[in-house]
Chain A
């Protein structure tokens, strides 16, 4: 007995050392850039915290929000930029054009800013079909109209064949901070509830299937859409009790939770059984060995609210078209700080960690 107690004390010590080390700012020490640096997991974090943030250090950037705040002449603006390199260019439920609009305006919405306008910069590969370009320009225009934003400036560059994969897009968005919003990751406190705006994993699965590398067929469309209507409804319903919002894009819900747990120094507990996943997504995830919690979404967000308004927030969300399946999936805890724990559907517990590298499939 004493022996096993001593053993578990040693285990706790080892775990404590690891936790402390992980709370430190990540260093960027890799000799070359690998695909992992773009996957939204720990390598991306080391790139941001170890190279970019120190170089550009300023209060706005250090807040590590989805969009930067800009106050000028008493007006509070939010600014965000995003590049889009998705392959294939078109997939069920969207295309690079609609994604470029939704991705950037959602980053604005996540800091409680109403999207106003976008700039668009295009890098086109020599040989790109004019019909393909035309379709994407139309997609951009339609998505912008649907979200009530204007494209007010732009730029076009063409590179030699082989130097870009058809087309790359970059959009920069400006939004007006909503006075009802008091959003800040630093405001997370133990007891806060974690809500999810709907089913997860559809975008990531739709892209993987569209690449046709797995010869799987399923009716799965990307969830790409503007999240501003949902944010607007939440602000209207529970305004100041809304703590923080994050859209669960690259790296999925698990990555968002880990980022926030780490930056806010809190723990989070998620109930796996409550996380909504469509059957087709669950099936594809099972075959590919990827957890839907790590799969990319383009129209889903994680919402943190004070416990006393959780029910109201859910009701407000569910009234928004596309968010009918919004649910509470867990809550913020004190211990162990920086960690996300999952209560598995089977009845056990485990860590829900940051992604390491690309979500590589298990081999057998």
Chain B
């Protein structure tokens, strides 16, 4: 497949792996965090780990949009989905995220009209096709997906689709990164920056990581060669004693981001004073809600939602996994009580979650494979 296969070329992969090997100091351990769940998924899917020397460790970060949704928000979604007359729409991954009693897939099996969509515009179309029903879209994601939600809401307004509303769970990437860098139990040598978020926000918002915390950041694409190239660049910075924000994903990410998308977001959304993150607790100015101008399309205001904070299950260590403090398999319930078919924690649900990626793709003792 053109423009895809080129970025998955095994010969070039081996060449980059050789370069990485030449850049690492033997005896030194390098811990690099890939912020974005898309990277986590790609690393496991292509087996990128196999091309890295043992002393380069990839730590999975908090950038999986499904993983960071707290239980209380799922309960709110289920409560709306159960109301008579409602068609509840969401992305596929959200269907299986556990609430305190049920997930959306179970609510669907019990009679709620829950539909999977690929885009918020699909949800809007369902609203137009069903004028006598209330259609709610469950919006999740970082700055990557927020603009498409914003555009959909603008269109709903322009086309006067009154039976459409949005339960907004959009979050921003910088506040949790700052929280992570402030946490004392984590030592990281550099960051593989989130390429898709950077497409919208640009490279500048990550400058504080280099300036205030003296860590290299390389914004990277999502093909395996992108990831290896970014690792080469990070190791290059470490070797030179530099800490800068570099952009490996120039073919997609402009340094200044997408100004038009940022404008639309600023019009439709406003920062919440604080928002709860799964396992990370409340983080100030980290979540988005609909701005007052769009209040009439806000499902939180249109419907009665419990809005109750629900504590994470005691056994679940999603927070520590999201912060990269523990590996998925170090969690007490990993693979026993918590599996992809019966997840306790969100990290086990999304294919971008560190636990699900490791369980589905990485769950084998490499030295045991008999060749």
Contacts and interface: CB of A to CB of B under 8 A. Distances in A.
A55 to B, nearest CB: 22
Interface of B: 1, 4, 8, 10, 13-14, 38, 41, 44-51, 54, 65-66, 91-93, 95-96, 105-106, 108-110, 116, 118, 122, 140-141, 144-145, 196, 224, 327, 329-330, 334-336, 340-341, 350-352, 359-366, 368-370
B228 to A, nearest CB: 10
A349 B50 CA distance: 7
B363 A344 contact: no
B106 A34 contact: yes
A311 B173 CA distance: 54
A262 to B, nearest CB: 14
Contacts of A218: none
A14 B96 CA distance: 24
Contacts of B106: 31-32, 34
A286 interface: yes
Nearest to A333: B370
A171 to B, nearest CB: 28
A348 B365 contact: no
Interface stretch (A138-146, A154-162, A320-328, A355-363): A355-363
Contacts of A17: 335-336
A282 B5 CA distance: 11
Contacts of A341: 364, 369
B364 A334 contact: no
A335 B145 contact: no
A56 interface: no
Interface string A327-360: 0000001111001011111111111010011101
Chain A contact-residue range equals: 35 or more
B69 to A, nearest CB: 12
B109 A42 contact: no
Given A11-B327, A34-B106, A349 B369 contact: yes
A357 B122 CA distance: 22
A202 to B, nearest CB: 16
Given A42-B341, A361-B118, A336 B368 contact: yes
B91 to A, nearest CB: 4
Interface in A1-42: 4, 10-12, 14-15, 17-18, 21, 31-36, 42
A78 B65 CA distance: 50
Contacts of B14: 347
Nearest to B142: A364
Given A346-B13, A364-B141, A351 B362 contact: yes
Given A11-B365, A33-B109, A361-B118, A345 B8 contact: yes
B109 A350 contact: no
B107 to A, nearest CB: 10
A152 interface: no
B109 A348 contact: no
B334 A14 contact: yes
28 contacts: A11-B365, A14-B329, A14-B335, A15-B329, A18-B335, A32-B106, A42-B340, A213-B122, A279-B1, A286-B1, A336-B369, A339-B364, A346-B8, A346-B224, A347-B50, A351-B360, A356-B341, A357-B341, A358-B92, A360-B92, A360-B95, A360-B96, A362-B41, A362-B350, A362-B351, A363-B66, A363-B92, A364-B65
A348 B364 contact: no
Given A346-B10, A348-B50, A353 B145 contact: no
A307 B121 CA distance: 52
Given A15-B329, A353-B363, A364-B38, 5 more contacts: A34-B108, A36-B341, A43-B341, A213-B122, A345-B10
Contacts of A350: 44-47, 361-362
B243 to A, nearest CB: 26
A346 B335 contact: no
A5 to B, nearest CB: 11
B335 A361 contact: no
A54 interface: no
B190 to A, nearest CB: 20
B370 A334 contact: yes
Contacts of B350: 362-363
A223 B78 CA distance: 40
B51 A349 contact: no
Contacts of B96: 357, 360
B335 A364 contact: no
Nearest to A21: B336
Contacts of A348: 46-51, 224
Nearest to A334: B370
